[in-house]
Amino acid sequence: MGRNKQYKIALVGNPNTGKTSLFNKLTGLHKKIGNYPGITVNRVSGHFNLDDGTAIELIDLPGTYSLHPTSKDEEVVLKELLLNRESIEGVLMVADVNNLKRNLILLKEIQDLDFPVMLAINMCDEMQKKGIEIDVEKLRELLQIPVILVSAKKSKADGQREGKGRIHQMKEMIPEMFETPSKKYFETYGLTGTSIDFIKADYPDEPVYKLWLLYTEQDKFEPEIKVNYPKIFDLPFDRGTLKRLLQKEVIKRYKDINRILKETYRIDKSKATGLTERIDRILLHKVWGILIFILIMFLVFQTIFSWASVPMDWIDNFFSQTNIYLKSHLPDNQLTALLTDGIISGIAGVLIFVPQIVLLFLFITLLEEMGYMSRVVFLMDKLMQPFGLSGKSIVPLLSGTACAVPAIMSARTIENSKERLISMLVTPFITCSARLPVYTIIIALVIPQNDVAGFVNLQGLVLLTLYLLGFIASLVSAYILNKIIKSSYKRYFILEMPEYKAPIPKNVFISVWDHVKAFIFGAGKIIVTFSIILWFLATHGGQEFRQAEQKFATQNKVTNNDLASYKLEHSYLGQMGKSIEPAIKPLGYDWKIGIALLTSFAAREVFVSTLSTIYSVGNTDDNQRLRERMANEKNYITGTNTFTLAVGISILLFYAFAMQCFSTLATLRNETKTWKWAIVVFFYMTGLAYLSAFVAYQILS
């Protein structure tokens, strides 16, 4: 390099790595710096000189995570590096010391484009408080490029004048990047057997990875670009096949990055001095961390029961009074009965559980927003491994508390195919929001509102136990599946740990509203529809049903309740319940509960609305709420209360383990591409549910 020489260098890096700050330090220019991805949206350049007089033009490109773009900003970087080679002679890559693994993906892609590259690891002033140690010389040796630690933000770090000293040292190292031969990785990955083999022969002077990017990202380029590479853009283009190949490329890159960082990058949390790290020492502790997580979830469920009871009573009372008002002011006919006992009862069966669902997802969203849920994922990884799961499996398992359908679909993010399959198969065990209405009404019926040790609500404790039973069942089932399912696929666990932060109210509101809306308009449509169907089946029947009033008219001392109960028993709905009663009698269930079991195969929460419809039809006292009607219900054979402790626990255990949701079955089939696993899971869960309910009833009765 010399006084008359000039180089054009691109400054690239992931969003939020301090790239723009470093640009300002080097060039002396001042730009607006934002703490969010995409602040650099234009191609901005600045100039500075090296000690020997060499002029450097530094081109600040937008932040990007990869050369496979997902946004317009990232497309700018792809096109600049791929198509403006005459304007860019080298690349200064800025990486974040906290997320070096993720940052190195972009570095390796740039190296494969045959650019001279230098790596500046920024934010080195945070290394001590994060407990991070980097062997810079070893990293330089393995990457075969110049590497330096810098801090574009601080003027002092590690006991020296950081801003001036290291920035100047970095300038001195720039000539080395042009003297160091580029090391390529993509050639060794060699996705042989693909179209790339033909492309290499047609364009022998171009970097192979450039041809690969032109081919795989061809929908990002303008028609005039495609004219220059006709052989590439004439090849067959299958986005589905390419997606799988790109995933293979990323996995191979991470495998190589893991090998490099294993020798050069170390995090010792015991040496960390920052607040986040001090908190993590406790929350990520292998014992205390798990106990704290259980305690947090315990407090969440205690709060749900305590806070939700008042608005639930308001809603229940409102719809009870509404039904009384309508029945007293509307004609006594089938249309009024349909409106009050069918439609309004169905709507009440949806809205009464909204307070609990709001509270549940409010707390879960707050934990996600604060950054705690990522810690849970990390904490659970080692715990999950013996069961054939990864830390990422906790995401579908926790999401299953909302609904198994999106939870099963969220398992797509798990790279290991075996762990992904097992995660999907055991997720239905997790207690979803659809089970919550069943738990709530049965717990309220058979579990007293007592405090344990003076401060623990017994009903809340039972609810937490049911959630834990589902989680334990999922782990035990995963362990069994891990022994059965064989796979040679090696596992990789990659996770970015966010900083702790205050929740953003808007994000919390949107997340909670999405879950509530999904319940109201998703499950709600099913509940109301079934409520109407059930009302029809309960108010119509065969000859005995139609002749009931005539039969009872000749008898003395017959109440309206006697007539209503007789008609319900001989209705279409009653006949359905009677047909399965022999199979469910050992569980302590009568034909009315049997009806609810049948209908809840469409959606678990229909169990409660079914009972609401049945007991509304069979009871003429409109002032009684559903819970009171169920509490007063008598077994038609024994004359004792139907919902005893034994029956209640039996129902709770049955619904804790049974897969009574057609949507979940369909989702399993779609995600696994076969009915085999869906059928296996259905019979396994149903068998376990029946056995658990049977044992519990026989012991407690």
Residue-wise pLDDT tens digits, 565-586: 677 778 887 788 888 889 999 9
Last residue of a domain, one of 484, 516, 541: 484
Structure tokens at 295: 């305690």
| CATH number of 9's domain | 3.40.50.300
Q: Within this chain, do residues 633 and 571 fall inside the same structural domain, yes or no?
A: yes
Examine the pLDDT at 372 and tell me if it is beyond 70.
yes
Q: Within this chain, do residues 183 and 305 fall inside the same structural domain, yes or no?
A: no
For CA atoms 50, 54, 60, 64, give the dihedral sign. negative
In a domain, 665, yes or no: yes
In a domain, 501, yes or no: no
In a domain, 498, yes or no: no
In a domain, 500, yes or no: no
Q: Within this chain, do residues 244 and 382 fall inside the same structural domain, yes or no?
A: no
More confident residue, 479 or 187: 479
Neighbouring-strand partners of residue 55: 6, 49
Q: Where are the alpha helices (H) located in 386-416, listed in sequence order?
A: 394-399, 404-410
Q: Within this chain, do residues 164 and 76 fall inside the same structural domain, yes or no?
A: yes
CA atoms within 13 A on the CB side of 259: 8
Grade residue 238 by pLDDT with cuts at 50, 70 and 90: low
Helix axes 288-329, 275-283, angle to 10 degrees: 80
Distance CA 364, CA 366 (A): 5
Distance CA 482, CA 422 (A): 7
Structure tokens at 70: 């997902």
DSSP letters, 222-281, are -HHHHHH-HHHHTS---HHHHHHHHHHHHHHHHHHHHHHHHHHEEE-GGG--SHHHHHHH
In a domain, 595, yes or no: yes
Kindly give, in sequence order, each residue whose CB lies less than 8 Å from that of residue 444, ignoring residues fewer than 6 positions away.
459, 627
Q: Within this chain, do residues 228 and 311 fall inside the same structural domain, yes or no?
A: no
Last residue of a domain, one of 452, 484, 516: 484
Distance CA 476, CA 468 (A): 12
**Contact 207/114 with Cβ under 8 angstroms?**
yes
How do beta strands 6-13 and 55-60 pair? parallel
pLDDT at 239: 65
Please count the structural domains in the chain: 3
In a domain, 312, yes or no: yes
In a domain, 497, yes or no: no
Return the H-helix or E-strand segment holding 121. strand 117-122
Question: Among 185-194, 289-298, 469-478, 599-608, where is mean pLDDT lowest?
Answer: 185-194
Examine the pLDDT at 159 and tell me if it is beyond 50.
no
The predicted model scores a pTM of 0.52
Domain assignment of residue 335, given as a range: 288-484
| Among the listed residues 222, 183, 236, 243, the one whose alpha carbon sits nearest the alpha carbon of residue 83 | 222
Examine the pLDDT at 32 and tell me if it is beyond 60.
no
Distance CA 407, CA 496 (A): 21
644: phi then psi, degrees, rounded to nearest 5 = -85, 175
Q: What angle do CA 152, 162, 36 make, to 5 degrees?
A: 20
463: phi then psi, degrees, rounded to nearest 5 = -60, -45
| Among the listed residues 44, 40, 47, 32, the one whose alpha carbon sits nearest the alpha carbon of residue 14 | 40
Neighbouring-strand partners of residue 122: 96
DSSP letters, 463-477, are HHHHHHHHHHHHHHH
pLDDT at 36: 28
Which residue, chain included where needed, has tokens 């717990």?
A: 443
Each residue of 36-73: b (16+ CB within 10 Å) or e?
Answer: ebebbeeebbbebebeeebebbbbbbbbbbbbbbeeeb
pLDDT at 212: 83
Q: Within this chain, do residues 460 and 524 fall inside the same structural domain, yes or no?
A: no
Which residue, chain included where needed, has tokens 């703490």?
A: 35
Helix axes 524-538, 572-584, angle to 10 degrees: 100
Over the stretch 120-141, which tens digit does the pLDDT of each residue have?
A: 988 777 777 767 888 889 998 8
Q: Is 655 helix (H, G, I), strand (E, B) or coil?
A: helix
181-199 mean pLDDT: 59
DSSP letters, 349-365, are HHHTTHHHHHHHHHHHH
Q: Within this chain, do residues 86 and 208 fall inside the same structural domain, yes or no?
A: yes
Last residue of a domain, one of 434, 452, 484: 484
Q: Within this chain, do residues 627 and 661 fall inside the same structural domain, yes or no?
A: yes
| Among the listed residues 129, 230, 142, the one whose alpha carbon sits nearest the alpha carbon of residue 180 | 142
Distance CA 320, CA 345 (A): 9
Q: Within this chain, do residues 430 and 515 fall inside the same structural domain, yes or no?
A: no
Alpha carbon 553 to chain centroid, angstroms: 60
Question: Among 88-92, 103-107, 383-387, where is mean pLDDT lowest?
Answer: 383-387
Q: Within this chain, do residues 231 and 303 fall inside the same structural domain, yes or no?
A: no
DSSP letters, 192-222, are TTSTHHHHHHH-TTS-HHHHHHHHHTGGGS-
Q: Within this chain, do residues 307 and 257 fall inside the same structural domain, yes or no?
A: no
Distance CA 352, CA 89 (A): 66
Over the stretch 302-333, which tens digit does the pLDDT of each residue have?
A: 777 678 778 878 887 888 888 888 888 888 78
DSSP class of 57 = E
In a domain, 281, yes or no: no
The percentage of residues in the chain with a pLDDT greater than 70, rounded to a whole number, is: 77
Q: Within this chain, do residues 178 and 64 fall inside the same structural domain, yes or no?
A: yes
Over the stretch 38-83, which tens digit does the pLDDT of each residue have?
A: 333 456 788 888 888 888 888 888 888 888 887 667 888 888 888 8
pLDDT at 618: 47
pLDDT at 371: 77
